[in-house]
């Protein structure tokens, strides 16, 4: 009996080498709670090729290209103020274009080269807070934020996303183009502009 089990262990060790350890002892349990359907966290930076609709990788690639291009031009000398204007979605897909701008803004803010002011969409919350501080009568006089002290943006970012879709039933080709422009608000001039092109092809 003993010799036989010994032989078995030796055989196992020989056949599978190092992995024999894991096969002979039970694996340790990971700290997860899981049901039938397998769910896993994935690499948030992985190339997403599930469908050829606008996806996470496209968003990341656009944001990276735009921030890289903005940072290397050196237009942000002296930490100017910038605001986000509109991003037109001219595709036929429901794409949250504000999300692309959010990614760009995050990276630019983290670079420390630029200051952002409230965008039009973020204005209401700011106005509400100012009114609460100044008109509710709840706060100490000197501690309230003064109305009329906001810094206006020197530059504004305007973008648009377009797409060309060709589909013949078996092959679908989608071409995306994201264009971003930075205007000098006072002068109305374009101070910087870049675009990112993406082609995605899928076969059915």
Partner 1 sequence: MKSLLLAATLGCMTCLAHAAQPANPTPPAVAAKVALRGEPYGVRVAEMRIVRKNDILTVQADLENTVRANRTVFYRFRWLDDMGNQVGDGESWKQMGLYGLQLQTVKSVAPNSSATDLKLEMNVEQK
Partner 2 sequence: MRMFPITTGLPTGKIGQASLTIHRIREIVVYEENTRTTGCGELCLPPARTSRLRQAASLRFIRSTVILLGIAVITGCANMKSHDVVATNVQAQVQTGTVASAIDELDKSASSDSERAGLLYNLERGELLRLNKQYPESTAAFLKADALVNEWEQTAKTDPSKLLGKIGAALISERLSDYEGQDYEKVWLTTRLALNHLAQGETENARADIKRTHEREAVIAEFRAKSLAAAEAEAKTKGAAATGKELNGYPVETINDPAVLKLKNSYSNALSHYLAGFLYEVLNEPGLAAPGYRKAIELKPETPLLEEGLRGLDKRTSFTHKRHKKMTDVLFVVEAGNAPARKPQAFTIPVPIDGWQTLSISYPVIAPSTDAPLSLLAANGQKLKLENVVDVNVMARRALKDDMPGMVMRGITRAIAKSVLQHQLSEHAGMFGQIAGMAASAYTEQADDRMWRMLPGRVYVARGYLPPGAYQLQIDGRDLGEKINIGGQYALIPIRLYENKAIEGNVIAFGELAPPAPAPTKKGAKRKKATT
Which residues are near partner 2 by CB under 8 A? Answer: 37, 51, 53, 86-98, 120-121, 123-124, 127, 147, 161-162, 167-170, 172, 204
**Closest separation between CB of residue 161 and partner 1, Å?**
18
Look-up of token digits 């709670």: 33
Q: Choose between 15 and 51: whose C-beta lies nearer to partner 2.
A: 51
Q: Choose between 15 and 111: whose C-beta lies nearer to partner 1.
A: 111
**Closest separation between CB of residue 16 and partner 2, Å?**
24
Cβ atoms 100, 62 nearer than 8 A: yes
CA distance linking residue 100 with residue 119, whole number of Å: 14
Residue 67 backbone phi and psi in degrees, to 5? -65, -40
Q: Choose between 19 and 73: whose C-beta lies nearer to partner 1.
A: 73
Q: Which does 85 bind (CB under 5 to 8 A by kind): partner 2, partner 1, none?
A: none
Enumerate helices (H) and strands (E) in the chain, giving the number of each.
Answer: 5, 5
Q: Which does 97 bind (CB under 5 to 8 A by kind): partner 1, partner 2, none?
A: partner 2
Q: In what order do the strands lie in the sheet with 81-89?
A: 115-116, 81-89, 155-167, 171-184, 190-203
Cβ atoms 25, 16 nearer than 8 A: no
- Joined together, the tokens standing for residue 93 give 């897909």
Q: Which residues of the shown chain bind partner 1 in the complex (CB under 8 A)?
A: 43, 45-47, 49, 56-57, 60-61, 64, 67-69, 71-74, 77, 107, 110-113
**Closest separation between CB of residue 61 and partner 1, Å?**
6
**Closest separation between CB of residue 37 and partner 2, Å?**
7
Q: Which does 118 bind (CB under 5 to 8 A by kind): partner 1, partner 2, none?
A: none
Q: Which does 149 bind (CB under 5 to 8 A by kind): partner 1, partner 2, none?
A: none
Q: DSSP assignment, residue 142?
A: G
| Coil, strand or helix at 186 | coil
Least Cα distance to 184 among 160, 161, 162, 152 occurs for: 152
Q: Which does 111 bind (CB under 5 to 8 A by kind): partner 2, partner 1, none?
A: partner 1
């Amino acid at each position: 009996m003993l010799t036989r089990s010994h032989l078995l262990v030796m055989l196992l060790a020989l056949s599978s080498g190092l992995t024999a350890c894991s096969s002979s002892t039970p694996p340790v349990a990971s700290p997860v709670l899981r049901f039938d359907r397998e769910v896993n966290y994935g690499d948030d930076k992985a190339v997403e090729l599930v469908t050829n609709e606008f996806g996470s990788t496209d968003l990341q690639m656009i944001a990276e290209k735009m921030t890289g291009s903005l940072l290397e031009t050196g237009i942000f000398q002296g930490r100017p103020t910038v605001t986000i204007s509109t991003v037109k979605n001219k595709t036929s897909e429901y794409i949250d274009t504000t999300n692309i701008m959010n990614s760009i803004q995050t990276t630019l803010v983290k670079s420390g080269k630029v200051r952002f002011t409230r965008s039009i969409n973020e204005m209401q919350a700011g106005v509400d807070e100012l009114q609460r501080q100044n008109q509710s009568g709840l706060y100490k006089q000197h501690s309230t934020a003064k109305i009329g002290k906001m810094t206006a943006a020197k530059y504004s970012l305007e973008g648009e996303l377009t797409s060309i879709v060709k589909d013949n039933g078996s092959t679908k080709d989608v071409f995306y183009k994201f264009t971003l422009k930075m205007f000098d608000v006072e002068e109305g001039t374009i101070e910087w502009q870049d675009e990112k092109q993406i082609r995605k092809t899928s076969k059915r």
